[in-house]
């Protein structure tokens, strides 16, 4: 699990809500955001007064967006056009075959599946004069999943650190934010450090195989790719700006957990091959020092592409990346504005 996945899980109960319950859903979502440590933004007050937090969520994109403010609930017709390009479909179907051959790591009694993530993501805050200051920052963490997944999971959350090229003003704001977040209310899980949760329900969010299905029930999902994709379209109806990109992101979230069983991973790859607009992005994409094949889908406005990066030998997802598709004032097309790497291993103990 990582911050971005935690955010998407918080969105799951809103994405399928009928219009009549939108207000209640949004209220619940904002309540959970207010009590969940994700990407924070804050406005420093006058000297001598406490810092007042304005909790926001920054999606890895060319611009930050308030999820609760931009989410639209509307009827969406499932696309009926052809699926991924032939090249992308070939890579995804080959990955499905490889993931079955590779099978799942064996986690024995008392052992843990360690899922380690590193991220380059976006941060932001408002300066005292009201200007919005944005920067890139790195973070990461390790999730330890016990052999009995109903047992206690452990998440070591690492701090968010601005990249070296961030401006001095951005670094100062980030340092102020980090210092303020150390003083969590009594009884609240920490934002940085060790978090523990039975069954992996960190901050009250049960880990999901896909939206609407807990990881523990992953075996109940359809293994037929078309049936699985239809279910994903149904559960993400009205979420995001495109049913296809939302379905692709949902599949990427499941694959990135590192804990989805091989048979379901294979079905998710094959389902992704049926999504219109999915293309082969790069056969030599590098994420955190490892090279794989990138498969992606552009955003509806054509400004950015979301990729999953697959190890063609094992069929495992080794990461994700967000790539600009057109020039922006401070970043040309082709710039990678965010990435997440995923590494899994079996270990004998957890912190």
Which region among 77-81, 95-99, 305-309 has the lowest average model confidence (pLDDT)? 77-81
**Percent of the chain whose predicted confidence (pLDDT) is above 70:** 75
Q: Which of 11-20, 40-49, 76-85, 252-261 has the highest mean pLDDT?
A: 252-261
Structure-block tokens of residue 183 = 């003083």
Which region among 106-115, 147-156, 323-332 has the lowest average model confidence (pLDDT)? 323-332
34-85 tens-digit pLDDT: 344 333 333 333 333 332 222 232 322 222 222 222 222 223 334 445 688 8
DSSP 77: P
183 or 55, greater pLDDT:
183
This prediction has a pTM of 0.76
Q: Average the pLDDT over 268-291 and give the result.
A: 94
DSSP-derived 3-state class of residue 323: strand
Structure-block tokens of residue 85 = 């390009």
Task: Give the residue carrying structure tokens 């609240």.
Answer: 188
- Contact between residue 145 and residue 182 where contact means Cβ atoms under 8 Å apart: no
Backbone angles phi, psi at 80, to 5 degrees: -120, 10
pLDDT for residue 264? 94
pLDDT for residue 102? 81
Which region among 5-9, 13-17, 63-67, 272-276 has the lowest average model confidence (pLDDT)? 63-67
pLDDT for residue 241? 81
105-141 tens-digit pLDDT: 899 999 999 999 999 998 899 898 999 999 999 999 9
Radius of gyration of the chain (CA): 20
Residue 5 has pLDDT above 90, yes or no: no
Q: Within 10 A of 24 (CB to CB), how many other CB atoms are there?
A: 11
Mean pLDDT for the chain? Answer: 79
- Contact between residue 32 and residue 298 where contact means Cβ atoms under 8 Å apart: no
DSSP 331: B
Beta strands in 11-82 (DSSP E): 40-43, 52-55
- Contact between residue 218 and residue 264 where contact means Cβ atoms under 8 Å apart: yes
Could you tell me which residues come within 8 angstroms of residue 175 by beta carbon, excluding any fewer than 6 positions away? none
Distance set, CA 66 to CA 69, 143, 217, 325, 351 (Å): 5, 27, 31, 22, 34
DSSP-derived 3-state class of residue 229: helix
63 or 206, greater pLDDT:
206
Backbone angles phi, psi at 133, to 5 degrees: -110, 120
DSSP-derived 3-state class of residue 64: coil
Strand partners, 338: 322
Which region among 32-36, 169-173, 246-250 has the lowest average model confidence (pLDDT)? 32-36
DSSP-derived 3-state class of residue 350: coil
Taking CB atoms within 8 Å and a gap of at least 24, the contacts of 160-169 are 160/39, 160/121, 160/123, 161/137, 162/123, 162/135, 162/136, 162/137, 163/120, 163/135, 163/136, 163/137, 163/138, 165/136, 166/135, 166/136, 166/137, 167/133, 167/135, 169/127, 169/133
Report residue 8's pLDDT band, with 50, 70 and 90 as the boundaries.
low
Q: Average the pLDDT over 143-157 and give the result.
A: 96
pLDDT for residue 291? 95
pLDDT for residue 13? 39
Q: Average the pLDDT over 6-25 and give the result.
A: 41
pLDDT for residue 55? 28
pLDDT for residue 35? 41
Burial 187-216 (b: 16+ CB within 10 A, else e): eebebbeebebebbebbebebbbbbbbbbe
pLDDT for residue 227? 97
304-310 and 290-298 strand pairing:
antiparallel
């Amino acid at each position: 699990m990582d911050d971005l996945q935690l955010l998407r899980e918080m969105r799951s109960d809103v994405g399928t809500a009928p219009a009549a319950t939108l207000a209640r859903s949004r209220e619940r979502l904002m309540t959970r955001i207010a009590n969940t440590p994700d990407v924070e933004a804050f406005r420093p007050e006058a000297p001598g007064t406490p810092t007042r937090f304005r909790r926001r969520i920054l999606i890895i994109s060319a611009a930050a967006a308030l999820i609760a403010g931009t989410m639209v609930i509307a009827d969406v017709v499932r696309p009926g056009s052809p699926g991924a390009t032939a090249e992308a479909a070939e890579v995804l179907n080959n990955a499905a075959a490889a993931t079955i051959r590779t099978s799942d790591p064996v986690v024995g009694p008392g052992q843990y599946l360690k899922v380690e993530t590193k991220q380059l993501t976006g941060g932001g805050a408002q300066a005292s004069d009201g200007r919005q200051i944005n920067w890139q920052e790195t973070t990461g963490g390790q999730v330890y999943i016990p052999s009995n997944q109903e047992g206690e999971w452990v998440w070591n959350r690492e701090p968010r650190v601005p990249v070296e090229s961030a401006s001095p003003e951005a670094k100062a704001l980030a340092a102020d934010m980090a210092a303020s977040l150390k003083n969590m209310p009594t009884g609240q899980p920490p934002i940085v450090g060790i978090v523990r949760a039975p069954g992996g329900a960190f901050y009250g969010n049960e880990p999901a195989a896909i939206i609407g299905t807990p990881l523990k029930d992953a075996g109940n999902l359809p293994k037929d790719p078309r049936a699985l994709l239809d279910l994903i379209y149904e559960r993400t109806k009205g979420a995001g700006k495109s049913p296809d990109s939302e379905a692709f992101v949902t599949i990427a979230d499941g694959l990135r957990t590192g804990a989805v069983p091989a048979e379901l991973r294979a079905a998710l790859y094959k389902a992704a091959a049926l999504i219109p607009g999915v293309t082969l992005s790069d056969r030599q994409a590098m994420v955190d020092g490892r090279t794989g094949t990138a498969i992606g889908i552009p955003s509806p406005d054509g400004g950015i592409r979301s990729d999953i990066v697959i190890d063609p030998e094992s069929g495992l997802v080794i990461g994700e990346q967000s790539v600009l598709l057109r020039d922006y004032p401070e970043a040309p097309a082709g710039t990678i504005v965010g990435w997440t790497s995923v590494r899994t291993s079996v270990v004998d103990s957890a912190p």
